[in-house]
Amino acid sequence: MGRTRPGERGPPGPGPAAPPAPPPRRARALALLGALLAAAAAAAAARAFARYSEAQQDSALKTLGTEGLFLFSSLDTDRDMYISPEEFKPIAEKLTVVSDSLQPCDGAHSSTLGGPLSAGLCLTGSIPTANYEEEELPPDPSEETLTIEARFQPLLPESMTKSKDGFLGVSRLALSGLRNWTTAASPSAVFAARHFRPFLPPRGHVELGEPWWIIPSELSVFTGYLSNNRFYPPPPKGKEVIIHRLLSMFHPRPFVKTRFAPQGAVACLTAISDFYYTVMFRIHAEFQLSEPPDFPFWFSPGQFTGHIILSKDATHVRDFRLFVPNHRSLNVDMEWLYGASESSNMEVDIGYIPQMELEALGPSVPSVILDEDGNLIDSRLPSGEPLQFVFEEIQWQQELSWEEAARRLEVAMYPFKKVTYLPFTEAFNQAKAKNKLVHSILLWGALDDQSCSGRTLRETVLESSPILALLNESFISTWSLVKELEDLQNNQENPSHQKLASLHLEKYSFPVEMMICLPNGTVVHHINANYFLDITSMKPEDIENHVFSFSSTFEDPSTATYMQFLKEGLRRGLPLLQP
């Protein structure tokens, strides 16, 4: 009794006295030792996590490749190597403009993310379109026809940049297709009015200025671009047929779909009456000027634009005109290969074509005339001259200005134009009036057409939501051609404009320079496009060393970097604005 079995505790007894408290120095040593042990444990945990993260990165790199990992990392904003629905949202929004349907293709489609699209499949249209196929119907003698005339003045060789050094290093053979293209392939052609049915708006789409796609663009920043190493366009289908036939009047090898986005043709209504529409359109197409055994030479006008006035049932065309705008000093991009493979060296230049235009010689008319009983009446006078028709004047009920319609089509092709880009001198006048900084882009080719040298810029950062919001809120924006500012700099008639141009050109480096300026033209901050692309090109080692810190606010490193550029410009420039 009174004993405890092994493993049991007895009642507490007086026991030995508690040990004395350690002296202060010993307490500090123990505390330091504990801290060191905790730090060591934390460091070990961090190393283990780093090894785990590094292993994940290595695995992802092997699976996706460098460019694939870049795209994945730009979406993985919390860097946990998983894409949540919220993180996937930006790419989902992008992909809504690309068709979710796939069809077999000839392998001509290629992607910057890894060559030809896999399994011989390619993306088709970006927007659902009406099922329309150009029917090869036999000619109907009673249908109306019209004659369209081609007017063509060849590209001016002296407008090309390479002309300044006498085309030094440029093979004469490389430019042979360009030099030999001096006239339109078909000076005139006859079309049936019904051939222009694809220009009618889709059913239920009759709002003035609301764009629709005649030929949808199939490319985006995610799908890449089409092969350069091609000579002959694919057979046109559906609504492509009329565009192909029209452009073939200039040259026998038109490509209705360009190699680079945005492709296709977009249109909107500019006038409506009881029986007629006026349709304005914009077409992005290009031409292949070479044939084997020469290497490919691509001729890409900035855009084709124009209008058509036609009856609502497309049985009568009142007017038609298509042309390449020539109001700028440069309006055509040219690219040619020095080899027979996609990886061959490519030369690039830009130039000016004075005239490239198609126009109807008059309204469409029937080739034969029937009386009330259906009997054929001779459509020619005894002299052999055709009968003259008198057309009623169209009473338009709704109309939209050409300028506003052109702006809406431009925004449909280029979402970055949701920001207003004013002409150069007008932008600085607005900046003075509103006491704002100027966001200015100086480049070799036009930013808002296919002769552009800033494709990557406009298709990524300039159309991202946070950039659009900041530009609209805090800046007056403009873009300019280098050649136009050089002309302005040499113009002695307006010293203030001369100074603005000089301040810009002092900071310019090829090919594109982005600048933040005071209203007086002083450049407070600038960055070159090549440097910008270099610092936003993520490598695996950059990921490991945390060169970029992703935020859920931004879609990718490019957007984050451009946002930093704009904010740094605000930081430098706002204190210098006149109160």
Give the other-Cβ count within 10 Å of 201's Cβ.
18
Q: Which two tokens stand for residue 76?
A: 């993985």
| Calpha distance 145→387 (Å, rounded) | 14
What percentage of the chain exceeds 70 in pLDDT? 71
Q: Is 468 helix (H, G, I), strand (E, B) or coil?
A: helix
Which stretch of 109-123, 145-159, 553-567 has the lowest confidence by average pLDDT?
Answer: 109-123
* pLDDT given at position 44: 59
Burial class, 108, CB count within 10 angstroms (exposed 0-12 / middle 13-18 / buried 19+): middle
Radius of gyration of the chain, Cα coordinates, nearest whole angstrom: 33
- Domains of the chain (ranges; CATH) run 43-90 (no CATH), 144-406 (no CATH), 414-576 (3.40.30.10)
Assessment of whether the complete model's pTM goes beyond 0.85: no
Q: Taking Cα atoms as reference points, which of 513, 511, 521 lies closest to residue 488?
A: 521
Could you read off the pLDDT of 298-340 as tens digits, one per residue?
A: 999 999 999 999 999 999 999 999 999 999 889 999 999 887 6
Q: Taking Cα atoms as reference points, which of 282, 274, 287, 131 lies closest to residue 197?
A: 131
Using an 8 Å Cβ cutoff, are 316 and 204 in contact?
A: no
Using an 8 Å Cβ cutoff, are 246 and 256 in contact?
A: no
Give the other-Cβ count within 10 Å of 207's Cβ.
14
Could you read off the pLDDT of 415-444 as tens digits, one per residue?
A: 999 999 999 999 999 999 999 999 999 998
Mean pLDDT of 257-279: 95
- Asked whether residue 549 carries a pLDDT value surpassing 50, the answer given is no
In this structure, which amino acid lies at residue 135?
Answer: E
For residue 275, the 8-state DSSP code is S
Give the other-Cβ count within 10 Å of 156's Cβ.
13
Length of the chain, please? Answer: 579
- The mean pLDDT value of the chain amounts to 79
- H helical segments located in 252-393: none
First-residue to last-residue Cα distance in the chain: 98
For the packed helices 495-507 and 424-434, what is the interaxial angle rounded to 10 degrees? 100
Using an 8 Å Cβ cutoff, are 364 and 144 in contact?
A: yes
pLDDT-derived band at 556 (thresholds 50, 70, 90) equals: confident
For residue 158, the 8-state DSSP code is G
| Calpha distance 250→286 (Å, rounded) | 11
Mean pLDDT of 102-127: 31
In this structure, which amino acid lies at residue 241?
Answer: V
For residues 23 and 326, the model is more confident at 326
Cα separation values, 129 from 211, 216, 414, Å: 13, 8, 20
For residues 567 and 541, the model is more confident at 567
Could you read off the pLDDT of 492-515 as tens digits, one per residue?
A: 889 999 999 999 999 999 889 999
Q: Which two tokens stand for residue 124?
A: 């088709």
Could you read off the pLDDT of 151-173 as tens digits, one per residue?
A: 999 999 999 988 877 887 788 88
| Calpha distance 565→527 (Å, rounded) | 8
| Calpha distance 293→477 (Å, rounded) | 46
* pLDDT given at position 165: 79
Using an 8 Å Cβ cutoff, are 483 and 445 in contact?
A: no
Cα separation values, 428 from 425, 490, 504, 527, Å: 5, 19, 12, 20
* pLDDT given at position 69: 57
Mean pLDDT of 257-271: 94
Give the other-Cβ count within 10 Å of 251's Cβ.
18
Mean pLDDT of 464-473: 94
| Consecutive H or E run containing 317 | strand 317-323
Cα–chain center distance at 436: 27
* pLDDT given at position 379: 62
Could you read off the pLDDT of 223-256 as tens digits, one per residue?
A: 778 899 999 999 999 999 999 999 999 999 999 9
Q: Identify which of 93-107, 218-232, 354-368 has the greatest average pLDDT.
A: 354-368
